[in-house]
Amino acid sequence: MGGRVESIFMTGQGGAAMERVAAVEALEGQGFKGDRYCTRSGYWTGIDECQVTLIAGEDLDAITEQLGVAIQNGEHRRNLVTREIALMSLAGQLFRIGEAVFGFDRPRPPCAYIASLTERRMTKALWNRGGICARVVRSGMVRPGDAIEIMESPPPELGGGLPDWNAR
């Protein structure tokens, strides 16, 4: 069962505030056009970067309710806020969001750096609910409201499965 994109956040510079956007272009093998990791200006560039990050809106709701941590306006520093999908169910999968195709890369745990940009409790708040990293396998536009659909039969031009990320 698929979910949907609730909101999209990005920033063009490492450490700058995340901004909500109405649509974004996913670029194959790069990330979101204009985002800090696509432009190679993110804090983790070359170390532990993700092309695109996703986080569950349900986890953000729980963090706000349980801990009172402000996290609904991009403080989580993830690109896509999702609803109605267990993000770890995407492990080992190719999935379509809007016009783009993504491949699951790995879970995205929080780091201490995020607390230095937001508030000291942010790393703890995101522990075990920091979302996932994905790679852009095919370019296309992504918008809030777009469905997240696991691709049962990847198109032939994608080689029939998940790319080998270690070959990067």
φ, ψ of residue 164 in degrees (nearest 5)? -85, 100
Q: Looking at domain 3-153, which CATH architecture does it have?
A: Beta Barrel (2.40)
Across 81-85, average pLDDT: 98
The model carries a pTM of 0.85
Domain parsing of the chain, residue ranges: 3-153
**pLDDT tens, position by position, 14-64:** 778 889 999 999 999 999 999 988 886 655 555 567 899 999 999 889 888
SS3 92: coil
Structure tokens at 161: 């499965």
Q: How many CA atoms within 13 Å lie on the side-chain side of 119?
A: 11
pLDDT at 76: 76
**pLDDT tens, position by position, 90-133:** 999 999 999 999 999 999 866 555 544 555 666 666 767 889 99
| pLDDT(9) > 70 | yes
SS3 146: coil
Short-list 86, 71, 166, 82, CA closest to 124: 71
What does the alpha-carbon distance between residue 12 and residue 18 come to, in Å, rounded to a whole number? 9
pLDDT at 168: 46
The kind and range of the H/E element at 64 are helix 57-67
Across 71-94, average pLDDT: 91
CB 56 within 8 A of CB 130: no
φ, ψ of residue 143 in degrees (nearest 5)? -135, 155
